[in-house]
Chains A and B, each alone.
Chain A
């Protein structure tokens, strides 16, 4: 994860057989994947499925399947990771449903959840850039954001994740967090201000 080595370089080295570099490469995306996993799994399922487990499974699977990965850019790599995670999540849900027997309401709930998560997976943290290099920058930014969020105090992170990633309104966020709207907004302001510091002068 050192700044000296770009993901592409790591990718290249990993491709030439360096298990070490593959490990480092995958590690870069842990926060990013966990953030996505968290949003995907959604609150209602959090008790049943653990985002960290999902991420761990995803990284393991990625490690195993790496030889089959054909891409060379970070974009492709992150997409590939997301696909693995989506498949893992689907499996987990299926298994969960399988052991629980049929519960139509739960299934419906899950279907909705899954739709949402796959939408998120699809849209991901990928924004269109106006040039290929800009795109890379954006993507990097998304992974950086996940890392930066990881560094915020939990309350701050929570507000930002709920508001911006789960797309809730402030009143909804306040209900979710069991705090007043006022205090949630203050946390938000603080979170944003600190985020900027954590990420440095990028803007």
Chain B
């Protein structure tokens, strides 16, 4: 301050060199090196010895000294976003805190035992009862307006009503000398946060690597994570915090006694020990926590900030949840996101992370609990993002790594339970903490759990959510299409085997086929949904949408054909048929359009030897069709079912007439040939192909096998999130067809060649209009 006036006399007019004798020296790379090392020390909370640095570079002592001075200035004046927070321990933490001298109401503070997201925790004595308590002093006294204060009291008092063996009891909520506090039972134990850190150390894993923005990871070292919040609110910390004494580095929240090693050895990851017992112990703790949450949820209280730091484990291995009713106040003005930001974001449910003001229900706790225990199981956070931004995005978009891929020893059931509870959509999680607890109990009693691995359909849904681009949708169409054919194969197999197989086996197969059918139907329904809802926004000419709906139609027709004459599924059939009708309405028009699309391909036009006039007319028809279709689709939602149907059919018929009028008979036939050529293995499922070739059952089985293999190879690609090769048709479909052709007899081959005619020369971008038979 004394130099306040001097700042005006500083060299403002030039570069450093102008006023600096060591101009060239300043570019010595050792300077940057030394300054960075010095900064590194500062940032890791040490107090670097300036002299040592200067002695190391005697020839650079002067400029280095200036640099280090500048660095100290910046570093201490700007603790903003640099990865530090390890400034000298906050004095407010002092054991000789004046607060200790003056009781806060009924509470005499003994010593500070920790700092957490919501304030400082002291060990205190409740004078009237002479019992030891943990006293949490909330940092917002000065900034809270009365509305918030009232809300805080309501929440805290509601939380104080919770009485459960696994919830830290709140004894009192009060305000004294403008300081708000919260007295609760003193738990002799350790936070899960600290326990996990120790387990990591024991496992030789070292601290989690933390990025520069990550000032508050729960697992790096305790000083930053716990002192952060107080930095933020230093101004508002209790008026008696102006103590001159420097306190010890803050310890973990409510870590009361220095006996954690005992605990961590209890939960040790030591593989020589009873590993299975370790996982069971974790499951037992999770069960306790889930039941505590269920109890709180029943009382209408959602925690909203479940994380390792808020779970305490006492020396008997009992879990205690703490800080109920406080999470709301992270958002309070003047208290915004104090400190432990990443420590909180890491365990946030996607609905919390999305930042949308949705009402958070109890399932957010189910998620956060699972994220917490995922970390205990694997010793890795669900998402190890190094910045808040990347963490948020991971929570929203990335699926967690499967726990067993980190540690093979983790029981499958536990993995399924944790992953289910970590589902992104709340609806896919356990519906309640109780359901989660029930499954954990089943696991502990070696009963089958209810949670299941996500089905293919769910995976597809998740997958498409993560890859919302049109390319991804196209890929989806492709592999769902393959699933569909796979499933219809099942159905056909069932029909074929019915005559020969034993009854029991038949039933098994039937059940399997039924399941597959249901799954396929779901898949196709989803496909339809994509086609109807998502792809509406695709820019014209909506090629992808057509393909989606066409694919759906093909499989619906398969379903209908397969289910016909099965009286046991009449209602099913009717439902399917209704849906089919709707689709058919939409697609009767698209089918024709598909052929039109094919006809618009230069390659096809050349093959059919369309003359100039024909090409012109096709172009006109296509244009006309697009226009009429968009007219028909206009107000689509307002039209009645039959109106839609008649409009589409009319459109389709007009289209069909126009095409027939344009093309000569041989050209129409050739178009059918090309269509078959482009269908790949699926062509051999076409009724007219089967009839023409007179395929035997054995042949059809072999063909189905080839189809399945094709599917498997594509599926493997898709699973690895690789797009299918551009030359998908040549690389995948063509070889499959070749294999099938080897199965055929010479006579059948001749028939086939007649059916498909000479190969189409050139590349067609769009697929043929499916295997849609003419209406």
Residues of A within 8 A of B (CB): 2-3, 6, 39, 75-76, 79, 83, 86, 104, 107-108, 111-112, 115-116, 118-132, 135, 137-138, 140-142, 144-145, 147-148, 151, 153, 156, 160, 163-170, 182, 185-186, 188-203
Contact = CB atoms under 8 A, between A and B. Distances in A.
Q: Could you say which of B1, B16, B31 has the most chain A C-beta atoms within 10 Å of its C-beta?
A: B16
B74 A195 contact: yes
Contacts of B246: 130
Contacts of A79: 235
Contacts of A188: 32, 35
Interface stretch (B6-14, B543-551, B584-592, B637-645): B6-14
Q: Could you say which of B5, B7, B31, B69 has the most chain A C-beta atoms within 10 Å of its C-beta?
A: B7
Nearest to B235: A79
B67 A122 contact: no
19 contacts: A2-B5, A107-B356, A111-B355, A115-B336, A123-B80, A125-B77, A131-B244, A140-B1, A144-B7, A160-B74, A164-B80, A167-B83, A182-B29, A190-B16, A192-B66, A192-B67, A193-B16, A196-B69, A197-B10
Contacts, number: 213
Given A128-B91, A190-B17, A202-B73, 5 more contacts: A108-B396, A142-B78, A190-B26, A196-B73, A197-B16
Contacts of B15: 153, 190
Contact of A123 (B3, B68, B232, B356): B232
A137 B63 CA distance: 26
For the complex of A and B, the 4 pairs showing the least CB-CB separation, nearest first, are A192-B70, A167-B81, A198-B10, A3-B5
Contacts of A141: 73, 76-77
A135 to B, nearest CB: 8
Nearest to B237: A128
Contact of B213 (A137, A145, A167): A167
B354 A167 contact: no
B6 to A, nearest CB: 4
B244 A104 contact: no
Interface residues of B, number: 73
Given A126-B234, A186-B32, A197-B19, A165 B80 contact: yes
Interface string B325-349: 0000000011111100100000000
Nearest to A145: B77
A119 B74 contact: no
Contact of B81 (A76, A116, A192): A116
Nearest to A147: B7
A203 to B, nearest CB: 5
B579 interface: no
B53 interface: no
Interface in B564-615: none
A79 B66 CA distance: 31
A198 B356 contact: no
A104 B32 CA distance: 42
Interface string B650-671: 0000000000000000000000
A160 B74 CA distance: 8
A83 B142 CA distance: 12
A136 to B, nearest CB: 8
B70 A196 contact: yes
B530 interface: no
Contacts of B69: 192, 196, 203
Contacts of A163: 82
Contact of B26 (A148, A168, A186): A186
A156 to B, nearest CB: 7
Contact of A83 (B19, B242, B245, B334): B334
B231 interface: yes
A190 B74 CA distance: 13
Contact of B78 (A75, A131, A137, A165): A165
Contact of B337 (A122, A167, A170, A192): A122
Contacts of B233: 122
Contacts of B270: none
Interface in B42-73: 63, 66-73
A201 B392 CA distance: 44
Contacts of B72: 203
A96 to B, nearest CB: 16
Given A147-B7, A186-B27, A189-B32, A123 B79 contact: yes
B7 A145 contact: no
Interface string B205-245: 00000001101000000000000000111110000001011
Nearest to A87: B333
A75 B235 CA distance: 8
Contact of A165 (B31, B81, B356): B81
A2 B14 CA distance: 24
Contacts of A130: 88, 91, 244-246
Nearest to B31: A189
Given A167-B83, A197-B19, A122 B70 contact: no
A90 B6 CA distance: 37
Nearest to B17: A190
Contacts of B333: 83, 86
A115 B341 contact: yes
A79 B69 CA distance: 27
A186 B69 CA distance: 16
A83 B26 CA distance: 40
A201 B233 CA distance: 30
A145 to B, nearest CB: 4
Contacts of A160: 74
Contacts of A195: 70, 73-74
B280 interface: no
Nearest to B85: A123
B4 interface: yes
B11 A39 contact: no
Q: Could you say which of A116, A148, A193, A202 has the most chain B C-beta atoms within 10 Å of its C-beta?
A: A193
Contacts of A164: 74-75, 78, 80, 82
B356 A144 contact: no
B721 interface: no
B398 interface: no
A2 B5 CA distance: 7
B92 interface: yes
A49 B388 CA distance: 22
A3 B233 CA distance: 29
A169 B234 contact: no
Nearest to B246: A130
B20 interface: yes
B32 A203 contact: no
Contact of B7 (A119, A124, A148, A168): A148
A162 B15 CA distance: 19
A120 B244 contact: no
Contact of A193 (B5, B70, B396): B70
B74 A192 contact: yes
B90 interface: yes
Contacts of B5: 2-3
A118 to B, nearest CB: 4
Contact of A194 (B7, B11, B83): B11
